[in-house]
Amino acid sequence: METLSLEQYGVVYNMFSFTIASMLGAFAFFILARERVAPKYRISLIVSAIVVGIAGYHYFRIMGSWEHATEYVNGAYSFNVDLFNDAYRYVDWLLTVPLLLAELILVMGLSRQKSEGLLTKLIIAATAMIVLGYPGEGAAEASSIILWGVLSSIPFAYILYILWGEVGQVIDEQGGRVGLLLKNARWLLLATWGFYPITYALPLLGADVGLIGMQIGYAIADVLAKAGFGVLIYIIARNKSDNDGYSLEIA
């Protein structure tokens, strides 16, 4: 039974609430902003909406679990780790990580054949990456952490190989401002996803990431990787719609 100060309890609680507000706001935005991009690109905004919707649902659950696991006693909070369900995050990633990759591919407006080929590879690899990471999360022995970490890194490496290889070629063909934005989106994915394996591996280095730091870090990474990434996808879709001659001006 750990004891949390009022400030420690509050900062995690408020980060969860910040994340819920961001996800719900983003959900409304992606649905409403669909009409501002050409029909062809709306599917990427629909997928963005579903990603932040699912993430918002999970943060409601995580916040409920946080309240359930903590109890106010004489000016501080006792925390029962048994009652705090962190596995929601894995359930969330299982659904949202393949969908984030789908957003990136769908906004490119490729031929159906090219699109389906890339989506199939990336979705299978993303699912394998999440499933293989789960047994190592919170494992007691270093050997388990390393084993599952390495296994999970194989599909991750494959995803990077596809994103910088086959997808990279497509991005180069798109060129101009759209090409630049697509490269930014790819970097945002790598930077925000990079947070997760680092947090996963820190216990190996003897570092006590700490409950508080981990919850804050995951929340920030989730807002950037889902709501932030979705906004970037929207900007790409707007630019491509402009290029295709889809005008918002009155004729």
**Interacting residue ranges for a second copy, rule: CB under 8 A:** 6, 10, 13-14, 17-18, 20-22, 24-25, 28-29, 31-36, 38-40, 42-43, 46, 49-50, 53-54, 57-58, 61, 72, 75, 82-83, 85, 87-88, 90-92, 94-95, 244-246, 248-250
Q: Is the dihedral of CA 89, 92, 97, 103 positive or negative?
A: negative
Interatomic CA distance for residues 225 and 219, integer angstroms: 10
CB of 157 to a second copy, least distance (A): 26
Q: How far is the CB of 38 from a second copy (least distance, A)?
A: 6
In b/e form, how buried is each residue of 192-217, taking b as 16+ CB within 10 angstroms? bbebbeebbeebeeeeebebbebbbb
CB of 182 to a second copy, least distance (A): 18
Quick one: the chain helix, strand, coil %, rounded to 5? Answer: 80, 5, 15
Cβ proximity to a second copy: between 22 and 174 the closer is 22
Q: Enumerate residues 6+ apart whose C-beta is below 8 A from 37.
A: 45, 234, 237, 238, 240, 241, 246
CB closer to a second copy out of 91 and 201 = 91
- Nearer to a second copy by Cβ, of 68 and 175: the residue is 68
Q: Which of 31/180 has CB closer to a second copy?
A: 31
CB of 159 to a second copy, least distance (A): 21
Q: Are 109 and 40 in contact (CB under 8 A)?
A: yes
Report the amino acid identity of residue 96. T
Nearest residue to 226 via CA among 97, 112, 105: 97
The residue among 36 and 153 lying less far from a second copy, judged by its C-beta, is: 36
Tokens of 196: 């997760």
Closest approach, Cβ 17 to a second copy, in A, equals 6
In the complex with a second copy, the residue whose CB is nearer, 138 or 194, is 138
| Residue 145: CB minimum distance to a second copy, A | 17
CB 126 within 8 A of CB 70: no
- Amino acid letter, 203: P
Query: How many residues appear in the chain?
Result: 251
